[in-house]
Amino acid sequence: MGDTFLKYLKNFDSPTDIVDEKFRSFTERLTAYLDFVKREDRDEVSKPIEVGRRLRDLGAPMESYKIMKADANYYKNRGNIEKFWHQMYYAGAFANLGYPTRSIEVEAIISCKELRREKNFPVFLPLFLNNYAGILHIYREDYGAANEVYREAILAIEDVNPRDFESKVGREYLWAHKLICNNYIDSLLVTERTEKDDEELERIMDIAEKRLGETESEYARALTLLNRAEMRARNGRIEAADKVLTEVFQKASERGLVEPSYYRIKALILADKGDDEGSVGFMIRALEEAGHYGNTLAETLTMRDSLSVYNVLVNKEGVRDRYRFFKEKGLFDYLMKMLRIKDWYLGSEHSENVRKTALGIAKALSLKNVQMRLIRTSAFLHDIGKCAIPWYSLNKISPLDDLDWEILWAHPTEGGRILRKLGLYEEAGIVENHHERRDGSGYPRGIKNISLETEIVAVSDAYNAAITPNRKYRVPKLPEEVLYEIKKGAKGAFSPKIIEGLEKYIQGESY
């Protein structure tokens, strides 16, 4: 079955090829394959890693994770523990290119603990440590904890026999060693470093550059040089950074390997030179080159740095209305473009509709101008956290499992994190709570004490999601139907005052 499904996947070059009826067929074929892999009575499937890589390239890395985890359990049930760890490593690697949820993070912690005790398979420990450190570093931004795990991973891989590693893992030893070093370097680069940390950064950089020409992986070589360029850029050695960056770009046989990082580091260089417009332009280009569908590592790191650059610009210019500044500089337009590409069912049009409804409610309730501005920004950006989630997870038309729901429920938290990076702290609080309810029935935390502004955005979101055509979970409803359900069926989810404001807005829309 693996060969047949892999052959089918090769019909698609990108998610843009998987539209309309093809998307339904794609979902059915993928669901059937995953169901087969989960069966305990099946035969060994061929090429599951190749299937996972293909799905990753098509923007469905979390399905790759599920496939590899199911295949790992298949071998575990048959007593093949070495193969179990091999497949679980790939499962974790795919998850890190999608969205590693809290349950996947816990799974990574447990796996590392078990491998520390397991003496028969030392080759897998550095890989699992690298995956776990990547979650802490990229998705949790807990750089101190990530750096500790990266250090352990480097010691662990240096204690492994290269031939043994390559025979059991099936990957080049130097590739893995440099990958761990380069990930550690990236984490150190964005850490508030002490003098000791700077010494550590130089030491790891030297390790990464040692025997640079011996690795077969062009990506590993390019990553090392890109980190050298970024390190020099962040240390103020702009001309040296630019020289290395240009060299890497010119020598790359596949520009797609280096373009996102190239443009991202170029933006950092221009920001240091005071070329604000040029810096913004390169950051937008970096985001465009990173690819919007699968939330790859390049996309995630580019998002992190682009938001930081924008925040530096707004602080330097002493801007009060951050919403207007970011809109004029093109950031919000770009984020809405990304949201439209990722979320086929709601996307940026939904964001604009929620903004309009929320302002209508706020006006009906005679709120102050400062509250109106807060609601305007928060409503427009309420779903921005979906930019951190792979497109396939957002658009699934098959039944959602526990992991799917966990991924979707993370978007308010991710939205709050994005806005905090831009200095929009009050808006961040509203965005991360826009799925909470007054009776505690919401998510992700089930809290009850939400602000008036948050409740306005929340009811506006619920109302517009219900009336939107082509909504994937339910048939769109008439405004009057939705209002009736909110008034009669909410049971304390929204306050009477907010419902009254929504009713006034709907009545005003009718005339």
DSSP codes joined into one string, 256-316: HHHHHHHHHHHHHHHHHHT-HHHHHHHHHHHHHHH-SSS--HHHHHHHHHHHHHHHHHHHH
3.40.50, 1.25.40, 2.60.40, 2.60.120: CATH of 217-318: 1.25.40
Alpha-carbon span 157 to 128, nearest angstrom: 11
Alpha-carbon span 193 to 204, nearest angstrom: 14
Alpha-carbon span 478 to 470, nearest angstrom: 13
Question: What per-residue confidence (pLDDT) applies to 287?
Answer: 78
Alpha-carbon span 276 to 323, nearest angstrom: 18
Burial class (CB in 10 A: 0-12, 13-18, 19+), 142: middle
Alpha-carbon span 297 to 260, nearest angstrom: 10
Q: Give me the tens of pLDDT residue by residue for the chain, a chain 511 residues long.
A: 778 999 999 999 888 899 888 999 999 999 999 999 999 999 999 999 999 999 998 999 999 999 999 999 999 999 999 999 999 999 999 999 999 999 999 999 999 999 999 888 999 999 999 999 999 999 999 999 999 999 999 999 999 999 999 999 999 999 899 899 999 998 998 888 888 888 999 999 988 887 666 666 777 788 888 888 988 888 888 999 999 998 888 888 777 668 888 888 898 888 888 888 888 888 888 877 776 555 456 677 778 878 887 887 888 778 888 888 898 888 888 888 888 888 887 777 899 999 999 999 999 999 999 999 999 999 999 999 998 899 999 999 899 999 999 999 999 999 999 999 999 999 999 999 999 999 899 999 999 989 999 999 999 999 998 888 754 555 678 888 888 888 876 567 899 999 999 999 998 864 3
Helices (H) and strands (E) in the chain, counts: 27, 0
Alpha-carbon span 383 to 469, nearest angstrom: 18
Question: What per-residue confidence (pLDDT) applies to 511?
Answer: 36
Residue bearing tokens 């995630």: 300
Q: Which of 224, 290, 307, 234 is nearest to 265 (CA)?
A: 234
Alpha-carbon span 40 to 70, nearest angstrom: 9
Q: Which of 148, 153, 79 is nearest to 120 (CA)?
A: 79
- Report residue 264 as tokens: 């991202």
- What DSSP designation does 46 have? S
The whole model's pTM is what? 0.92
Fill in the amino acid letter for 110: I
Alpha-carbon span 511 to 508, nearest angstrom: 6
Is residue 471 helix, strand or coil?
coil
Note the maximum CA span of the chain.
76
- A 10 A CB-CB count for 349 gives 14
Alpha-carbon span 236 to 241, nearest angstrom: 9
First to last CA, the chain: 58
Topology (CATH level 3) of domain 338-511:
Hypothetical protein af1432 (1.10.3210)
Residue bearing tokens 């492994």: 160
Taking the domains of the chain in order of start, what are their residue ranges?
217-318, 338-511
